[in-house]
Structure 1
Amino acid sequence: MTMSLRVTCLCGKITVNLHGSPAARANCHCSSCRTFYGTSMFSATAWAADAVSVDDGAGRTFKHPEKQLTKTFCDVCGEVMFGTNRLGMRVVPNALVARATDGKLDAALAPTMHLFYRQRVVDVSDDLPKYLDGWDGPTYAR
């Protein structure tokens, strides 16, 4: 599915444009995402770098001190607009995308898997595959 979506930060100073379709849609449980984004599970879509553009705004980028991660955020309201992972993908929080689509995450953007479920801090009861590590490894079986 090809789409065009505009998402803004809470205060409206930054607009991020998403074009095309996400390369991945996941709930990530890795310790890097949990600590970097300050959440027990990071639900996001990953996009090719050229599929994400930022309108002029008050954005800043913070680089993780040890890992190949950055996050771009609004320097007025502080909302994270997207991160960049070690593969150069732009990782956009699903909460931000849902707000741009009237509070409901479109099915074309909904997570299709859990990643790094071995590192989880909360159990999740759903029907999505739960990859213990990356998406090319074994899955969690009860």
Structure 2
Amino acid sequence: MTTTHKGACFCGSIEIEVSGTPEGMGYCHCASCRAWSAGPVNAFSLWKPDGVRITRGQDLLGEYASAPNSKRRFCRNCGGHLMTDHPEWGVTDVFAAVIPSLAFEPGLHVNYAETVLPMRDGLPKFRDFPAEIGGSGEQVPE
């Protein structure tokens, strides 16, 4: 049986559904994610694109391509951030806060060299990204 989680934007005009198991979960500390989320860190959950569906409000879905590998999606009604498509990596990052029923189990930190909020949780902290997705693979101390 496939696990399904539902979520919505801030005003509820756009509803989203994710199915299956996340490819990964963690925290991003890059300046871009911090600015986009208006917070010191962004909690992410990565899904195969075919496991992510907009079930209501597709016409309200806005897009901002901040980089070739980051197509950020948001509600044009309330401005609530929903997800970022990463086509080069074959995943969609659905922000963990958007899917409240998901048991968030982070496995790593990325772009930790840019952190403004040190987190001492014992998880691997990558300077940029793991080597498997094009990063240096270099880990930095907590």
TM-score > 0.5 by shorter chain? yes
Alignment of 1:1-142 (within 5 A): 2-57=2-57, 58-85=59-86, 86-98=88-100, 101=101, 106=103, 109-136=104-131, 137-141=137-141
Q: Identify unmatched segments of 5+ residues in structure 2.
A: 132-136
Query: RMSD across aligned C-alpha pairs, in angstroms?
Result: 2.1
Mapped partners of 1:26, 1:36: distance in 2: 16
Structure 2 CA distance for partners of 1:140 and 1:65, relative to 1, 3 Å: closer
Mapped partners of 1:64, 1:27: distance in 2: 20
Structure 2 CA distance for partners of 1:22 and 1:66, relative to 1, 3 Å: closer
What is the aligned residue count?
Answer: 135
SS at match of 1:64: strand
1:24-62 per-position Cα deviation (integer Å, ceiling 9, x unaligned): 101011223223333221111011111101013143222
Mapped partners of 1:12, 1:36: distance in 2: 19
Q: Please state how far the C-alpha of 1:12 moved relative to its aligned partner.
A: 1.9
Mapped partners of 1:78, 1:94: distance in 2: 17
Is contact 1:25-1:44 (8 Å) kept? yes
TM-score under structure 2 normalisation? 0.82
TM-score under structure 1 normalisation? 0.82
Is contact 1:61-1:70 (8 Å) kept? no
Structure 2: which amino acid aligns with 1:111? Answer: P
